[in-house]
Structure 1
C-alpha cells in the first residue's frame, strides 16, 4: 500500500481489539499514542474508556449501530483478521495493541502471526505484560530481577545479554532452545537476532522504555 492509500497515519497508533481489556488500561496506554483505531468490536471497548477512535476497521460483523459520523473502513474479506486489516490501512512508526492478548487462544495466536509478518514494530499490551517481535538489534535498561521471557516463533539465531541465563549465537526454535522464565541482571538488556521471529515478553511497567528503544533502533527504514 502506498502512503496515499493509508486511512490513518501517525507516529504512534493505538489499535484496540475486542479481546480482554479494561477502560483503565486503554486510558493508560492511549497516553503513549497519537491516534486510536478500533478493530471492529474494539470500538465498544474504546467507547467505554472514553477514547475517541478516529477509525473503525474490520468486516463489521460485531457492529450494527455505530455513530453516523464515525469513520469506518469496511473490509469484507475473511482471509485476514480485523487486527491485520487495521495494520493494512494504517501507517505508524510504532503500533500499540490492547485487546489482542488473552481471551481466546486462537485469537491470540493469530495476533502473534500478524506481528511476526509485520515489518513495522507492534507492541501488544495487557494488564500484566507486553509482547513484541525483537528487531535485529535491541537494547534497553532494566531493573535487576525484572522478569523477561523470549520465545522463538520460527528457527533463528539469537544472542541475549544482561539476563541471568544469557545466550550467544544460539540456535533457537519452538521445538528446541527457548528462553522463557528469564530475568534481568540490571542495566542493559541487549538482544541480537538474525531475522524476525523472536517474541520478547516484559512487564507492562516497562512500556515507556520499550517504546524508546524501538524508536532508537527499529525505524521503518530498516524494514523497507
Structure 2
C-alpha cells in the first residue's frame, strides 16, 4: 500500500497487520485465515489460482520469515513462485530450466533436502554431486554463459541475479514448462 500498488486481496491471519491498514482494504478483499499452523505466505500460496506467483517482502528483514518462505517453496513444489529480493531472486529449481545468464553471473544452489542434478554452463558443473543440508551446497557458482539445469527432485533452491526475473517469468509461463507434482 505504501508503494501505491492496488491490492486485489489480502490473505492471512492479520496478526501483524495494523488496524489502520486493514481499514483501507474493502471487506470483500480481506480473506482472514485464523489458524497458526502455517505462515501468511503459505496461506496465500495455497489459495491463489495462478500459473506463477511473484512474492515480494519474503527476503530480507527477518531471517526466520525468510527461512519459512523457503520451506514453503519446498512444501509446495507444484506452485511456481519467484521470491523477489533487493539484489537476487529465489525459487525452487524446476525439473528443467534454461537460464539466460551471462558469463560471471552468480548461480547459487542451496539444497533443502538430498538432491542431485545436472548442469551445462556452470564454471563448476554439478553432475554426479550429492547435495544435502549439512553437506554439499552450491554457493556462488558462476555461469560461463547460458546455463541449463536439470534437478532429480524438488529440493533445490535456485538463487539468481534479480536482472533475470523477466526472462525467467517468461520461461515459467510457457505452455511447455512442467512444474514438480504436488507432494502427497
Q: Same fold (TM over 0.5)?
A: yes
Q: Aligned residue pairs: how many?
A: 176
Q: 1:67 — aligned with what?
A: 24
* Relative contact order higher in (CA < 8 Å, ≥ 6 apart): 2
Distance 1:52 1:64 in 2: 18
Where does structure 1 differ by over 3 angstroms across 4 or more consecutive aligned residues? Answer: 216-220
Residues 91-121 of structure 1, C-alpha deviation per residue, up to 9 Å, x if partnerless? 1111101100011111110000011111111
Q: 2:147 — aligned with what?
A: 189
* Unaligned residue ranges in structure 1 (runs of 5+): 1-46
Residue pairs, 1:43-122, within 5 angstroms: 47-61=1-15, 62-65=17-20, 66-67=23-24, 69-70=26-27, 71-118=29-76, 119-122=78-81
TM-score computed with the length of structure 2 as normaliser: 0.89
Q: What SS does the corresponding residue of 1:90 show, helix, strand or coil?
A: coil
Distance 1:48 1:68 in 2: 13
Q: 1:143 — aligned with what?
A: 102
Q: What SS does the corresponding residue of 1:92 show, helix, strand or coil?
A: coil
Residues 138-179 of structure 1, C-alpha deviation per residue, up to 9 Å, x if partnerless? 112211111111111100111122011112132111122211
Residues 194-223 of structure 1, C-alpha deviation per residue, up to 9 Å, x if partnerless? 110111111111101211222235446x63
Distance 2:100 2:19 in 1: 46
Contact 1:156-1:197 within 8 A present in 2 as well: yes
Q: 1:39 — aligned with what?
A: none
* Unaligned residue ranges in structure 2 (runs of 5+): none
CA RMSD across the alignment: 1.6
Q: What SS does the corresponding residue of 1:115 show, helix, strand or coil?
A: helix
Structure number with higher helix proportion = 1
TM-score computed with the length of structure 1 as normaliser: 0.74
